[in-house]
Amino acid sequence: MRYDTRCPCSDCDHETNHNHTDEAEWYMVYDHVWEEALKHGPAQYLCIGCLEERLRRKLTFADFNDLIPVNFMPEHFSPSKRLQGRMAGLVFDEAAYRLKHGI
């Protein structure tokens, strides 16, 4: 099922929602990374390029939350090449996820 929810980047208007683009940038970084980016202004969604511009650095796999399933669902959408590159090396911590969620 595809939802008609658009999620444009708050800075450049690039569509990030996997339901509306073949080059999705649908991800979740750790809270401290997002909070650092928000020091430069409010944002609901940011593409990878704009997030990096706000942080003034290139993202690495260590910035992406390893307990969030959306970061490990390429079968549901086509992540952009740059998102794939930044997430390279990220491993889902299933044991910690199950413990956190009581599964």
Which residues does 24 contact at the CB level (< 8 Å), separation at least 6?
A: 16, 17, 18, 77, 78, 79, 80, 83
- Please tell me the predicted confidence (pLDDT) of residue 1: 47
Range of the domain at 35: 1-103
Percent with pLDDT over 90 in the chain = 43
State the total domains in the chain. 1
The model's pLDDT over 18-36, given as tens digits with 9 standing for 90+, comes to: 666 667 888 999 999 999 9
The model's pLDDT over 55-101, given as tens digits with 9 standing for 90+, comes to: 999 999 899 988 887 887 766 677 888 888 898 887 776 776 677 66
- Please tell me the predicted confidence (pLDDT) of residue 84: 86
pTM check: above 0.85: no
- Please tell me the predicted confidence (pLDDT) of residue 75: 61
DSSP state of 62: G
